[in-house]
Amino acid sequence: MSEKEQKEITPDKRIVVCVSGLAGTGKSTLAKKIAHKYNLKYYSGGDALKALAAEKGYNSKSQGWWESSEGLDFLAKREQDLTFDELVDKKLIEYAQNGNVLLDSWTMPWLINYGFKIWLAASIKKRTERIARRDKLKESKALKVLKEKEEKTKKIYKRLYGFNLGEDFQPFHIILDTEKLNANEVFDALCLIMEKIILAEKDLK
């Protein structure tokens, strides 16, 4: 579907889509593409946290920063000071309330009781392969930092909100396994979800 053919999203058809998934599932790249295609405002919890890190003097703009020693150091600071995450989540909730947004976030599916929520899944082996390739790391190194990052992140959200990231799927409407799909195939699947479910439901209202 071309941009000219895409469905118009008007103020009376407010859309809120949450895309979640652990590192290496393609979450952020695909969320940005979907937001652009369907004229939704894109907001990322990870980007907002990186902006806060930059304010603290971190060089957080580099590719794969979360898996770097700097990224892991900032994650340790987040463990000690939960206000970083609380500030970001408060702002994302405000964006969600305005509607016509796509939220790239690990927390929003649990913090808002509306919208359409998608979880992208893949095995840790596949996610490690993707991150190693993306960041030009040995797979053993990629696996080590991935496990460390996810363990700390899960602890933060468990303390703050009580859910188990990557284990609790109750809020999600669809879980899409990306294990054997390339980026284009996942994008096509997400477009079908947008057009056949999310936009179709809005058209019926």
Residue 14 — pLDDT band, cuts 50, 70, 90? Answer: confident
Q: 183: how many CB neighbours lie within 10 A of its CB? A: 13
Q: What are the residue ranges spanned by the domains of the chain?
A: 16-204
Residue type at position 204: L
- Give per-residue pLDDT as tens, 48-97: 999 999 999 999 988 788 888 899 999 999 999 999 999 999 999 999 99
Structure tokens at 174: 């669809």
Cα Rg of the chain, angstroms: 17
Report the b/e string of 85-101 with b at 16+ CB within 10 A: beebbeebeebbeebbb
Architecture of domain 16-204: 3-Layer(aba) Sandwich (3.40)
Distance CA 89, CA 107 (A): 7
Residue 202 — pLDDT band, cuts 50, 70, 90? Answer: low
- Give per-residue pLDDT as tens, 15-55: 999 999 999 999 999 999 999 999 999 999 999 999 999 99
Distance CA 37, CA 107 (A): 24
Q: 1-8, long-range: CB within 8 Å, 24+ apart, which pairs?
A: 1/191, 1/195, 3/37, 6/37, 6/38, 6/39, 7/38, 7/195, 7/199, 7/203, 8/39
Distance CA 116, CA 16 (A): 6
Check: CB of residue 202 under 8 Å from CB of residue 15: yes
Distance CA 122, CA 102 (A): 21
